[in-house]
């Protein structure tokens, strides 16, 4: 059976939706977090573990779907008639997107941070060292200010739950978006494939192993 068999992929999506329903029964839905300002440590840890488990699982499922769409695009054929028409008549302005959302599901992980750098030992002496030290201090002050302006943790968890629910309801939109990303940055597939579930994962180990094997099969098939 092919690694991208529609019946198997549909079964895995059903398992992901079932796990999402279990998460809502364990920690609550987005509305239960949106109206709160503070979370206890155990509530926060449980919500993060559930979301981390589901986000990695859904991200890999979307990758399997997107691999079938990420084909190299052919260069568009030249159409002189269309080009002359565009020169005469300007293109109409793009229509505003109805119902645009401010927070979407993160389909690929964040890039790794920069490695640690060795700072100057002792007080700065040269002018460029003084400038760099002042720039570091100003950046640290800005980061401390932004940390207090950040959205509270319950609202961030509520947005992640809503974004996850949208992907589970309409995975084809997420697959098309990830397919466009894979055409410009193919290494994104490897970063998604190597993501490990949290240590205390809430998902079925069989489902996680099945999804992991099929993701690696897709990535290996494109690399060979």
Flag whether 20 is in a domain: yes
Distance, in Å, from the CA atom of 196 to the CA atom of 193, rounded to the nearest integer, reads 8
Asked if residue 88 is part of any domain, the answer here is no
The pLDDT value recorded for residue 137 is 86
Note down pLDDT in tens along the chain; length 224 residues.
Answer: 444 667 888 999 999 999 999 999 999 999 999 888 889 999 999 999 999 999 999 999 999 999 887 655 555 555 555 444 554 555 556 655 544 455 789 999 887 766 666 666 677 778 888 888 888 888 888 888 777 778 889 999 999 999 999 999 999 999 999 999 999 999 999 999 999 988 888 888 899 999 999 999 888 877 66
Tell me which residue range forms the domain holding 14. Answer: 6-72+153-223
Residue 10 domain-assigned (yes or no): yes
Q: Please report whether residue 145 resides in a domain.
A: no
Give the per-residue pLDDT at 198: 87
Report how far residue 25's alpha carbon sits from residue 32's, in angstroms, rounded to the nearest whole number.
Answer: 11
DSSP string for residues in 134-159: HHHHHHHHHHHHHHHHSPPHHHHHHH
Overall number of domains in the chain: 1
* Residue 103 domain-assigned (yes or no): no
Its pTM stands at 0.74
Environment class of 117 (CB within 10 Å of its CB; exposed 0-12, middle 13-18, buried 19+): exposed
What's the confidence (pLDDT) of residue 110? 83
In a domain, 129, yes or no: no
How would DSSP label each residue in 86-127?
Answer: HHHSPPPPPPPPTT--S-----SPPPPPPPP-PPPSSS--SH
Q: Would you tell me the crossing angle of helices 205-223 and 41-67 to the nearest 10 degrees? A: 40
Residue 40 lies in a domain: yes
- Residue 119 class from Cβ within 10 Å (0-12 exposed, 13-18 middle, 19+ buried)? exposed
- Tokens at 218, concatenated: 């897709």
If phi > 0 it is left, if psi is from -120 to 50 it is alpha, else beta; for residue 122 that is left
pLDDT at site 124: 74
Domain contains 83: no
What's the pLDDT score for residue 44?
Answer: 93
């Amino acid at each position: 059976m092919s690694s991208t068999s529609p019946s198997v992929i549909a079964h895995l999506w059903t398992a992901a939706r079932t796990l999402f329903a279990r998460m809502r029964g364990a920690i609550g839905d987005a509305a239960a977090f949106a109206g709160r300002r503070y979370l206890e440590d155990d509530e926060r840890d449980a919500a993060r573990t559930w979301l981390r488990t589901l986000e990695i699982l859904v991200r890999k499922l979307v990758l399997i779907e997107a691999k079938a769409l990420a084909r190299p695009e052919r260069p568009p054929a030249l159409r002189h008639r269309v080009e002359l028409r565009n020169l005469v008549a300007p293109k109409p302005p793009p229509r505003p997107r109805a119902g645009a959302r401010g927070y979407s599901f993160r389909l690929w992980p964040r890039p790794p941070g920069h490695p640690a750098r060795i700072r100057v030992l002792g007080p700065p002496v040269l002018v460029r060292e003084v400038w760099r030290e002042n720039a570091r201090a100003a950046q640290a002050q800005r980061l401390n200010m932004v940390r207090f302006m950040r959205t509270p943790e319950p609202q961030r968890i509520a947005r992640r739950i809503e974004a996850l629910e949208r992907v589970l309801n309409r995975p084809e939109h997420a697959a098309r978006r990830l397919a466009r990303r894979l055409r410009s940055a193919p290494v994104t597939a490897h970063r998604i494939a190597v993501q490990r579930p949290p240590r205390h994962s809430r998902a079925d180990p069989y489902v996680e192993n099945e999804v992991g094997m099929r993701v690696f099969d897709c990535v290996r098939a494109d690399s060979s």
